[in-house]
Amino acid sequence: MTWIYFAGNTKIKSPTDDATRSFVGDVTNYDFKYQIDNFNKLNQILQAYGVILKNVVSGSYPVKYNTTRTLTKFLVYNDERTVVWNKYEGNVSGGGQNNLLLCSPNNSHTKIKISDIVSDDPSKNIPALNILVNFLEHLTQV
């Protein structure tokens, strides 16, 4: 098992482990497919605070009970490895996750659902954006 390490000793299993297809490189060369709107919205928020998502590690896997479909897992992160988008699809409906990890140098991280950040519902996006903005403002002060 291969681990990818981020700020504050946060580690995530590499999406390329046991993948039938993989990609490691720059976001400009990656096809986000149906996640492109989420990427654009997230990127717009982060860039306002000088955080640029640049790196992608992605793997695709066959669905266990459906040979015509594949699952995709990816990590997208900034050079400082403090902001990580962790997306993975599970073999069963609803079995995946789509989160933003905010990795602090003090050995902790906060997880926010991407759907809450990009939501048009203020009851979801305002609390998520408050957490994100507080973290980003702290990053710029360090």
Percent share of the chain, pLDDT over 70: 99
Would you state the pLDDT for residue 84? 98
**Per residue in 65-117, pLDDT tens?**
777 788 999 999 999 999 999 999 887 777 789 999 999 888 789 999 999 99
Strands (E), 9-121: 11-13, 21-26, 53-63, 66-78, 83-88, 97-104, 108-113
Host domain of residue 10: 3-141
Confidence of residue 142 (pLDDT cuts 50, 70, 90): low
- Its pTM stands at 0.93
The number of distinct structural domains making up the chain is 1
